[in-house]
Amino acid sequence: MDIIITGLLLSGTYALIAMGLNLQYGVARIMNLANGEMLVVGGFAAFILFTGGGVSPLLTLFLVAPVAFFLNWLIYRIMLRPLVNRAKSRGALEQDAILTTFGLSFVMVGLMIWGFGGDYFNYSFLSRPIVIFGDNFGLNRVVAFVCAVALCAALYLWLNHSRAGMAIRAVAVSPESARLVGIDVPKLSARAFALGGAVTAVGGVIISTFLTLDASIGVLFTMKALIIVIMGGVGDVRGTIIAALILGVGETLVATFIDPGLTLAAAYAMFILILLFRPQGLFGRRPT
């Protein structure tokens, strides 16, 4: 039981960062492989503010979100928009985007190592035990879970019930038709990309309250987020949440019963099975 709950608590944050990536890939059509680094940057900010100024990570959230939004908006406008414009085909854009965001990811890692060194960083925030169903869990994990779930829910409601959210979903489904009904697709793509980056950075702040991070760990989170997005189906919020649950619980099971060193291998095994049997995602329809 405690394993299930541990996995569940983990999957809340996974769902959040996967939502960030999903917004970027599903709407802006850019597979952002520097996504995990944005997460580490968020975590770094929380670490510095907490150890330097005693600022609670829960407050840092509100600072990181707008800064990351703006930063990602700039990245999209300056680096990615020219690629979108020059691309002759979806395939060419895909290749360019992969190379660029990989480059960006390495540059961010390089800069973080340059500025702050490659050491692990963590800080002690709300690390008191809390009892759920008779077992002990870190309070920070529970708080992180609550935050992540609240943010996911807010995002979901906003996407489904607001005008702007509706426009974003329209672009995700069909950019051509969205343009026909008067939606400014390039502008919205930039915003969705920025929003996705902000969500991921916020996920980083949350994750730093209970996990130890270092400058080069981002790629691990990128991979996990990707696995979740693909497993859940691109643009499918419900699928994302369930895939995050499967991954979080699955990883915890493997780490407990087999070996903590095999978590990524376990995630990959799931990924392979999905690719082989349901490449369109758990709930996705077959592409037509």
Partner 1 sequence: MTPNYGKELSAGAVLLIIAALLPFASDGYMLSIGVSIAMYTVLATSWALFSGPTHYISLATAAFFGVGTYVTGAGIDLLPYWVLLPLAALVGGVLAAVVGLATLRLSGVYFVIFTLGLAEMIRQCVTWFQNQQGHKGTYVLTDLTEAHIYWQLVGLAALVYLIGWLIQHSRLGFALRIIGDDEQVAAHSGINTSLSKVALFIVSGAVAAVVGAIIAPRYVYIEPAIAFNPMLSFQVVIMALLGGTGRLWGPLVGVIPFTFLWEVISASFPNQTTLLLGLSFLIIVYLLPKGFVGLLQKIRAKTGGFA
Partner 2 sequence: MSVNVLSLRGATKRFGGLVAVDHIDFDVTEHQVMGLIGPNGSGKSTTLNLISGALTPTAGSISLRGARISGLPAQDIARKGVARTFQLVRLLASMSVLENVMAGAMFGHRRRGRHDAEHHAMEMLEKVGLGHVSHAPVGALTYIDTKRLELARALASDPQVLLLDEWLAGLNPTELEEGISLIKRLRDEGRTIVLVEHVMDAIRSLCDNCVVMSSGKKIAEGTPEQVLSDPEVIRAYLGDDDA
Q: What are phi and psi of 129, to 5 degrees?
A: -75, 150
- To partner 2, the closest distance from the beta carbon of 109 in angstroms equals 35
Residue with tokens 């965001």: 101
The only residue of 119, 128, 176, 288 in contact with partner 2, by rule CB under 8 A: 288
**Closest residue by Cα to residue 141 from 39, 201, 209:** 209
Nearer of residues 170 and 247 to partner 2, judged by Cβ:
170
**Closest residue by Cα to residue 17 from 169, 206, 190:** 206
**Closest residue by Cα to residue 146 from 130, 159, 160:** 130
Nearer of residues 90 and 285 to partner 2, judged by Cβ:
285
Nearer of residues 78 and 180 to partner 2, judged by Cβ:
180
- Residues in contact with partner 1 by CB under 8 A are 25, 31, 33, 83, 91-92, 94-96, 98-100, 102-111, 113-114, 118, 216, 219, 223, 226-227, 230, 258-259, 261-262, 264-265, 268-269, 271-272, 275-276, 279
Nearer of residues 115 and 287 to partner 2, judged by Cβ:
287
118 binds, among partner 2, partner 1, none (CB under 5 to 8 A by kind): partner 1
Residue 62's CB is within 10 A of a number of other CB atoms, namely 10
What is the pattern of x (binds partner 2, CB under 8 A) and - over residues 50-89? Answer: --------------------------------------x-
Residue 158's CB is within 10 A of a number of other CB atoms, namely 14
66 binds, among partner 1, partner 2, none (CB under 5 to 8 A by kind): none
102 binds, among partner 2, partner 1, none (CB under 5 to 8 A by kind): partner 1
CA distance 196 to 203: 11
Q: Enumerate residues 6+ apart whose C-beta is below 8 A from 57.
A: 46, 49, 50, 125, 205, 206, 208, 209
CA distance 233 to 93: 21
- To partner 2, the closest distance from the beta carbon of 89 in angstroms equals 9
Residue 285 binds partner 2, judged by CB under 8 A: yes
288 binds, among partner 2, partner 1, none (CB under 5 to 8 A by kind): partner 2
Q: How many CA atoms lie within 13 A of 175 on its CB side?
A: 12
Nearer of residues 54 and 91 to partner 1, judged by Cβ:
91
130 has which bridge partners?
A: 137
- Tell me which residues in 87-106 interact with partner 2 (CB under 8 A): 88
Residue 216's CB is within 10 A of a number of other CB atoms, namely 18
Give the chain's end-to-end CA distance (angstroms, integer).
41
Nearer of residues 85 and 288 to partner 2, judged by Cβ:
288
Nearer of residues 77 and 169 to partner 2, judged by Cβ:
169
